[in-house]
Amino acid sequence: MILHQYLIIAGLTLQLFDYGQDLLVGGTDTSALTVEWALNELLKHPRLIRKATEELDRVIGRDKWVEEADFSKLPFLEAIIKETLRLHPLATLLSPRYALEDCTVAGYNIAKGTTVFINTWSIGRSSKYWDSPEEFIPERFLGKDIDMKGQNFVLLPFGSGRRMCPGYNLGIKLIRSMLANLLHGFNWKLPRGMKPEEICMEEHYGLTTHPRIPLAMIPEPRLPVNLY
């Protein structure tokens, strides 16, 4: 009886550990890659990085770092994140779904027992849903109520429903905090002699989607020295 109880407790502990591991893996590596893609796009479009730092200076000022309470006051930063996840979703295919019964979705007949994969990369680059889908235009999200929690099926970087990414809350907070403070705290430059149009935006596909050629970036402090 005691052994049986111990095994139950041990099994529960392992399940909790596995879930916690899912949260950390789902919310850290992918967050860092999203910030990397965002910086790549911003350095490729200097106009956008200027617009982002102007918003940060106006809302935050140059006497402190960006905090979680500030995120709701930074709509252009949020638009940059959404546009990055639209154009560069870290998981090109969402977790597979299994049809429990015959159904029809968007005019397609799906038989019971079918395994369904949703290609969020293709959705994000479809001219059916987006104007100029191959271009990085954060302004397309300003003034529009398009969330990233799976309620708007044109933007599904974290999936939707009960099989949504378990690391969503951790991941999105990390992305907002990292990107906001990297832009607020530093001026970012390309290596000497490199032009924005020379930045390679090709993707390397795997479990997550990386830039094929990592970009070297040069940071310069832009806040008072006592903040570093």
165 is in an annotated binding site: yes
CB neighbours of residue 47 within 10 Å: 8
Residue 152 phi/psi, 5° resolution? Answer: -110, 110
For the chain, which residues make up each domain, given as ranges? 22-91+134-227
Residue whose C-alpha is closest to residue 176's, from 55, 70, 26 = 70
Angle at 34 (CA atoms; ends 185, 31), nearest 5 degrees: 85
Q: pLDDT at position 121, please? A: 92
Compare 80 and 150 and report the one with higher pLDDT. Answer: 80
Q: Which tens digits make up the pLDDT trace of 84-97?
A: 999 999 888 888 88
With beta carbons less than 8 A apart as the criterion, state whether 38 and 179 touch: yes
Q: Which tens digits make up the pLDDT trace of 151-198?
A: 888 898 888 887 787 778 888 998 999 999 999 999 999 998 899 999
For the segment 37-60, the average pLDDT, to the nearest whole number, is 96
Taking the model in full, what pTM does it have?
Answer: 0.84
Does residue 21 register a pLDDT over 80? no
CATH architecture of 22-91+134-227: Orthogonal Bundle (1.10)
Q: Which strand (E) or helix (H) includes residue 59? A: helix 46-59
Does residue 15 register a pLDDT over 50? no
Would you call 206 helix, strand, or coil by DSSP? coil
Q: Which two tokens stand for residue 4?
A: 């049986």
Compare 227 and 25 and report the one with higher pLDDT. Answer: 227
Give me the chain's average pLDDT, please: 86
